[in-house]
Structures are given as structure tokens and as C-alpha cells.
Amino acid sequence: MFRVVAMLLVSGFALSACMSNEPQLGPDGKPLPQVYKIGARDAEVIPLRVVESVNTMRAARGTAPMVLNSQLSAAAAAHSQDMSRQNRSWHWGSDGSSPLDRAARAGFMGTVTGENISETYETELETLSAWMLLPDTRDVILNPASTQIGFGWYQEPSGKIWWTMLTGH
């Protein structure tokens, strides 16, 4: 019995040595995506990373920084979950609500200046980078009138993430 267990252990070590830590490549030669699981620790720092990244890009354009707003973040998180329930990425809530309606419902007393949304398996920074590539979503991020930002998400058990960014002043 000892020999069988020893052989299994040796075989396991030998197989693990053969496994590579290199990412698997898809047909396009790019690494296959990895599931990005948002843990409790990540949930605390994701909004801070986004705001820091957004403000770095705004500073490069000479635009004033935005501050994280809890009401806009609550509205963003609620919309992300609603998009998941609807299984479509769009700016209208299942109840017909607009970004302005949802922000007001969450207690935001200012003016909503924009909303960016995404349905993806990418991280928040990859999503932010994708938004920066498109003029409409980039304009939401860099709008000089915006002084506040909310950021929320909902992650399905499959790993798919629904991201929402709301800006306002």
C-alpha cells in the first residue's frame, strides 16, 4: 500500500513539473481570456483603481479630477444587476428607467452627465481601456463638466461581469 501511495505522489509531482505556467493561446495567437473572479478584497479596491485611472487620464488632458460618489455608485451597481437580469447591455432599466431616473432614485441630487456600460469577462481596467478607445464612451470619462463618478458591477456565477459607470456634477 505504501508503494502505491508513493508511486501516485511521484507521478503527481512528475506531471505537475510538465505543466506550463504559460497562458494558452487562441487561434489568433493571443492568450485565451482567464476568468476574473471579483473577491471581497477586490470589491473594496476596484472603485478606487477606476477613479485613480480616470483621474490620471483626465489630468493628462488638463481636466479636473472627479470624486467617487456613493449615490452614483449605488445606481451603477443596481443597473449592472438589472442588465444581467435582462441579459442585455443597454442604458434602460427593466422598469423603463433612464440613468437620470436611477441616479435620482439612489439619492443623487446633481445632474447626470453620462453613463458607460459593458458586458464582459474583462477586468475593470481592461473595460476602462476599451471605453477609452471609443469616442462616445471616452467623452463620458473626459467630460470637463463632470466632477463626480459612480462605478458599479454585477458578476454572474459564470464570471461574466456587467459594468456601469455614471458621471455627474
Q: How confident is the model at residue 6 (pLDDT cuts 50, 70, 90)?
A: very low
Cell digits of residue 79: 443597473
- Per cent of the chain over pLDDT 90 is 73
Q: Which residue reads 439612489 in cell numbers? A: 106
Can you read off the three cell numbers belonging to residue 100?
A: 437620470
Return the CATH superfamily for domain 40-168: CAP (3.40.33.10)
Q: Domain locations in the chain?
A: 40-168
Helix (H) or strand (E) holding 72: helix 70-86
**Cell 435582462 belongs to which residue?**
86
3-state SS of 145-161? CCCEEEEEEEECCCCCE
Residue 2 has pLDDT above 50, yes or no: no
